[in-house]
Each structure stands twice: as structure tokens, then as C-alpha cells.
Amino acid sequence: MKKIILFLCLVAVWGVFGCAKRQVTQQLQPGGQQQEAVRDTSVADKRGEIKPEERITEQQLAKVETKEEPARFKEERGLFDDIYFDFDKYDIKPEAKPVLKDIAAWLLKNPAARLSIEGHCDERGTNEYNLALGDRRAKSARDFLIALGVASNRIEIVSYGEEKPQCTEQTEECWAKNRRAHFVVLR
């Protein structure tokens, strides 16, 4: 066993130094000779590399079937005013507080109703960040209602970001109308 290992060691040592030596000799070859060799191959190589034939194919993709899901709730809109936010902000402004107080009072009088708060943004931001921002706007409104005594399990939120604008012109008035939380009663 030991003999075999010793033999393999010798082979390995030979391999290392053998290779190194060959490399050195090649580097020492005079430049002229090497150039000659290159020119030779290029002449012999007049006909180029013949690449293997290629068949161009493409997978024929079927179309995805998109199923429509039935709505979970009957939606009631227009019961409450929207509340508005400043650009890239999600704190509740003083003028929004009376609206939220009315909503809280209504929910406490109608204990069977559930509320969905939609968060919306203007189009100036980017889509993904706007969805996160709309989420925070809806959450600010939700937190305010919970603070006024509404049970948290009665309020769900959904963000629509800039995907459902109220107004589509590119003006500050229009953008301001789109930065909103919208309230939908679910029954």
C-alpha cells in the first residue's frame, strides 16, 4: 500500500515539474518562429470553421386560461367622502379627521357592516412603490378608525396604487384628487 502511495506521489511530482518545464521552454521560443507558425495556420485555414447545422425551433405556448372569481361581498360605495393625502405622504391631514369620525360613528351604529379601505396614489410615483404607499394610506385611515373604537376585524384594506385613478389629467388638481383613501361598505 505504502509503495503504491509513494509511486503516485512521484507521478504527481513529475507532473508538476514536468508541466512547468514545458511551459518555460515554450515561452523561450524565439518570437519569429512563433509568428511563422501563426501565419501557417491562417493560410491552411482559408476555409472557415464549419459550425454544426442549427435548426431554429420555438416552443408553441398554449394560452393561460384566466378564471373569473365571483365577488365575495356586495359592495356599497358613495356612503362616505374620500380623504386626501399630500404627495408621497401617508399621515392623516386635519381636514380628513371629521370624515373619519363620521365613518367610525356609522360603523358603531351598524355592527353587521364591514368596511374596505382602498388606498390610492397619483401617477407620478412608480407603480410598485405607489402600491406600498397606497397600502400605508389605507392603514393610516384604518388605525384612526380603530383608535375611535371600531373593531379591527371589521376593517380590511386594499391598495390600488396608481392603477385606478379618479382623474386622468396631468395637473396638480387632478393628482391631488387621486391621492386618496376610498371607503367601501361590504355586506
**What residues make contact with another protein under the rule CB under 8 A?**
1-2, 5-6, 8-9, 11-13, 15-16, 19-20, 22-23, 41-42, 45-59, 61-66, 69, 71-72, 88, 116, 124-129, 131-136, 139, 156-160, 163
Residue 95 or 153: the one with the smaller Cβ distance to another protein is 153
Q: What angle do CA 32, 35, 38 make, to 5 degrees?
A: 155
Across 73-100, b (16+ Cβ under 10 Å) vs e yields eeeeeeebebbbbeeeebebeeebeebb
Q: For residue 182, report the phi and psi dihedrals to the nearest 5 degrees.
A: -115, 140
**Cα 12 to chain center, whole Å?**
53
> What minimum distance in Å lies between the beta carbon of 180 and another protein?
16
- Taking the complex as a whole, the smallest distance from the CB of residue 12 to another protein amounts, in Å, to 4
Least distance between another protein and beta carbon 155 (Å): 10
> And the C-alpha cell for 20?
512547468
What minimum distance in Å lies between the beta carbon of 125 and another protein?
A: 7
In the complex with another protein, the residue whose CB is nearer, 19 or 105, is: 19
From the CB of 143, what's the least distance to another protein, in Å?
Answer: 9
- CB closer to another protein out of 33 and 57: 57
Distance CA 24, CA 27 (A): 5
Nearer to another protein, 35 or 126 (CB): 126
For another protein, the closer of residues 105 and 147 by Cβ is 147
Query: 154 near 181, Cβ under 8 Å?
Result: no
Between CA 92 and CA 69 the distance in angstroms is 34
